[in-house]
Structure 1
Amino acid sequence: MKYWLIILVCLLMSVGRVTAQDVLIVADEIPAMEVLAKGMQQQEGLTSKIVTQTDMPATLANFRAVIVYIHKDLDSIPERAFIRYAQNGGKLLCLHHSISSAKRKNKEWFSFLGIDLPKKDVSEGGYKYVGDVDMAVVNLAPKHFITSHKITYASTIAYTREGSQKEGQFPGFVLQKTEGFLNHQLLGSRTILLGFKFTDTAGKVWMQDRSAWCIPVGKGWLFYSQPGHAISDFENLIYTQLIANAILYKP
């Protein structure tokens, strides 16, 4: 009897460890997340569960990480659940349009993220999205685990960091026919990981150190990455590895 009790306890502990390893993806555009989930499993053995925000589990605490990929409205109940999960020690990953104009009306989201989307002309620092661009993503933190673990960059990109007058050569990769966000205003300090470079329809070249970043929040941790408009973004093995690395990373 004692032997079987020990076996049962071991099995329950094993199940608990597997659940803690799982990634919950909350999305309203499912095909792109299916590609991401498949890539993360193939590259790092990470298993994922994809749900809409109306089908979220009662608690997020059992998940190793939660990914948010919501294009349209973010409902207030999931909004508070994501914030509570991160502040209580969870690892929250927000992708692409998790920061977008549709979230301006949320009461807590932008203050939690430490972000603002200024309402003025883009030439004056206002927020704007630009579609159908070929976007170079550059590594601005070459020694960081997220940007380096199991990654060999495909290109070298000529890039000038914000606040600098000197052009440098940075490792990176290119995502084709995607969407870029301009002038995310970052409120407060954080670790900048990636920058972006693209040419808009008027021929202006934009370079901003705002493509990906991370920051501690409460007892937990928050990661944001701006690429992800097109399914093909998640077919890029480098980009999938970056997201997997954010899950594996131990702050």
Structure 2
Amino acid sequence: MFKVIKFGLLLIFFWNVEVKAQDILIVADEIPAMEVLVKAFKNAEQLESKIITQKEMPASMTDYKAVIVYIHKELFAEAEEKFINYTKNGGRLICLHHTISTFKKSNKDWFSFLGVELPKKDVKEGGYKYVGDINMEVVNLAPKHFITTNKIKYPAKIAYKREGETKEKRLSGFELQNTEAYLNQHNLSPRTILMGLRIKDKSGNIWMQDRAAWYMPVEKGWLFYSQPGHAITDFENPTYVQIIINAIIY
């Protein structure tokens, strides 16, 4: 009888560990957009997730299948260290939108961890700039990759010229309306480019950059970044949500 009870307790223990390992932790300072994402995760793939602030972060996040960062303003030094350690020790970090922005320039290790810089010069000379209240066309630059294809049917063909190329092609993609884009986020280290962006700024200039989404290994872990996500409506777009889901389950 004792052996049966012991075996049953072990089953319950391992079942709880397995379920917890599937959880997604979202660390955010703008909650409504992430509430939309939580519902989308549940509806699309039965993924369980919870939202916390930086002040509520646990000492360890190793039990989580993925950790999403959606922090607009200050990134606390303690949270920065936890995100970095989680990733380097085998975690899957999903960074969205303003995870790469000027608010993070004061952090000691964040940009070196991400392998990016935001050049301080005129935008036409390659300097960083954010452009708000625009429509963003997002194009698939990795048409054979799981993240950009699994359960996705792109609604549009978009005229797009890749960086370093001379001719436009019509690539599969989708559009996000009344959102925000970041120009000239400069990647300093190798990574797999997944998506590009095409926008028209307030002066009528067309910008096309191969920097809308990418991923790269970081020691034992894995880091994914996607630039869209300024507006709540971005997370109501089923194509964009599926891309984030694919990054989690890939």
Q: Residue type matched to 1:140 in 2? A: L
How much has 1:26 moved relative to structure 2? 0.1
Residues 143-222 of structure 1 aligned to structure 2 (within 5 Å): 143-222=144-223
Q: Matched residues in 1 for 2:19 and 2:59: separation? A: 18
Structure 1: segments with no counterpart, 5+ residues: none
Corresponding residue for residue 91 of structure 2: 90
Q: Matched residues in 2 for 1:243 and 1:44: separation? A: 11
How much has 1:57 moved relative to structure 2? 1.3
Matched, 1:133 2:134: yes
The DSSP-based 3-state class of the residue aligned with 1:110 is helix
Q: Matched residues in 1 for 2:189 and 2:160: separation? A: 24
Identity %: 60
Q: Matched residue pairs, number?
A: 249
Q: Deviations for 1:2-49, whole angstroms, at most 9, x for unmatched residues?
A: 111111100010000000000000000000001011101110111101
Instruction: Provide TM-score, normalisation by structure 1.
Output: 0.99
Corresponding residue for residue 120 of structure 1: 121
The DSSP-based 3-state class of the residue aligned with 1:197 is strand
Q: Matched residues in 1 for 2:90 and 2:168: separation? A: 39
Corresponding residue for residue 76 of structure 2: 75
User: What do you get for the CA RMSD once the two structures are aligned?
Assistant: 0.5
Residues 104-115 of structure 1 aligned to structure 2 (within 5 Å): 104-115=105-116
Q: Residue type matched to 1:51 in 2? A: I
Q: Matched residues in 2 for 1:142 and 1:60: separation? A: 32
Q: Matched residues in 2 for 1:118 and 1:161: separation? A: 21
Q: Residue type matched to 1:180 in 2? A: A
Instruction: Provide TM-score, normalisation by structure 2.
Output: 0.99
Q: Matched residues in 2 for 1:238 and 1:171: separation? A: 11
Q: Matched residues in 1 for 2:41 and 2:245: separation? A: 6
How much has 1:221 moved relative to structure 2? 0.2
Q: Deviations for 1:24-83, whole angstroms, at most 9, x for unmatched residues?
A: 000000000010111011101111010000001121100000000000000000000000
Q: Deviations for 1:62-118, whole angstroms, at most 9, x for unmatched residues?
A: 000000000000000000000000000000000000000010000000000000000
How much has 1:164 moved relative to structure 2? 0.1
Q: Residue type matched to 2:144 in 1? A: K
Q: Matched residues in 2 for 1:66 and 1:34: separation? A: 15
Q: Matched residues in 2 for 1:47 and 1:237: separation? A: 17
Corresponding residue for residue 44 of structure 1: 45
Q: Matched residues in 2 for 1:185 and 1:31: separation? A: 29
Corresponding residue for residue 21 of structure 1: 22
Q: Residue type matched to 1:170 in 2? A: L
How much has 1:205 moved relative to structure 2? 0.4
Q: Residue type matched to 1:65 in 2? A: A
Q: Matched residues in 1 for 2:85 and 2:59: separation? A: 13
Q: Residue type matched to 2:223 in 1? A: L
Q: Matched residues in 2 for 1:18 and 1:231: separation? A: 29
Q: Matched residues in 2 for 1:185 and 1:121: separation? A: 14
Q: Matched residues in 2 for 1:165 and 1:44: separation? A: 40
Q: Residue type matched to 2:11 in 1? A: C
